[in-house]
Amino acid sequence: MLVILGPTASGKTQLAVQLAQQLIHGGQAAEIISADSRQVYRGMDIGTGKDLAEYTIDGQFIPYHLIDIVEAGDDYNVFRYQQDFDRVMEEVRSRHAVPILCGGSGMYIEAALRPDAMLAIPPNEPLRTELEALNDEQLHARFEQTPSGHSARADTSTRKRLIRAIEIGTYLNENPGLLPTQRPPLPAYRVIGLDPPVNVRRERISQRLRNRLQYGLVEEVEHLLNQGIPAEKLIYYGLEYKYVTQYVLGQLTYLEMVAQLETAIHQFAKRQMTYFRKMERDGLAIDWQ
């Protein structure tokens, strides 16, 4: 198995498709498994950068998985992703194809590679309501006060994930007898990390944002809202969906939306790299390119 990871706009999909093509030309089947926490949603195409045309190269279609598998507005999470990954992995290997895991969601990649099955931690709505009232500093303090077996691997890079980490820690502390089960063994794998120079990454992000706005990002968000997806849900998805929804609702001007969104995407890319470096410190060997 090949694993390709990197921050947004680093060229992961393009590399995965090129490698799959090389494998196919060498007589070996290859299929791509996405590790993107937002590309799972149908109808959220421009904002998540699906670029499904990229999966066809020189007339050759490269099969892909775990994209467009749930409805926008659904509550998808890393636990469900791990289950879906295991199912797809079994299917890909049954066809004797090389799986290429490709994405920028560190939590999803970790879930795919870890040996134990994740536990289903149900949402705790009263706790979430309580935590939403806290500022970021108070949330971090609350996380430190809720140590659990999950703490060391918890992703606290965003407010949403910090709240979820506290929710998981609280649940595990209240249910100490829970033990994870073993998953099917993974094939041997190599991890390739893409880390373009910061100035190159920043220019790619800015250009890509301009392209997405030009090709209908605002209209995509308006369509999702018109379908009945609550604005709070789109804002919860973050980045493009958060800021464009706020613009559509009249909470931001167009120029404010573009400026704040561009800054947020740059910050997100930095957080992605921070998470990948944490994965390295935890023992994952990454061959950076």
Q: If you ran DSSP here, which 8-state letter would residue 117 be given? A: P
Contact 109, 35 (CB under 8 A): yes
Contact 208, 49 (CB under 8 A): yes
Sheet holding 287-288, edge to edge: 64-65, 30-34, 98-103, 2-5, 190-193, 287-288
Directed axis angle between helix 239-248 and helix 254-281, to 10°? 160
User: Which residue from 180, 155, 73, 169 is spatially nearest to 124, judged by alpha carbons?
Assistant: 169
Q: Which amino acid, 24? A: I
Contacts of 230 (CB under 8 A, 6+ apart): 73
For 29, the 3-state DSSP assignment is coil
Say whether 94 counts as a known binding-site residue.
no
Residue 8 is encoded by which pair of tokens? 């947004």
Say whether 278 counts as a known binding-site residue.
no
For 64, the 3-state DSSP assignment is strand
Give the HSE-up count for residue 267: Cα atoms under 13 Å, Cβ half-sphere: 10
Say whether 181 counts as a known binding-site residue.
no
Please give the Cα distance from 194 to 86 (Å, whole number). 25
Say whether 126 counts as a known binding-site residue.
no
Say whether 13 counts as a known binding-site residue.
yes
Strand pairing partners for 103?
5
Say whether 8 counts as a known binding-site residue.
yes
Annotated binding site: 6-13
Annotated binding site for substrate: 8-13
Annotated binding site for ATP: 6-13
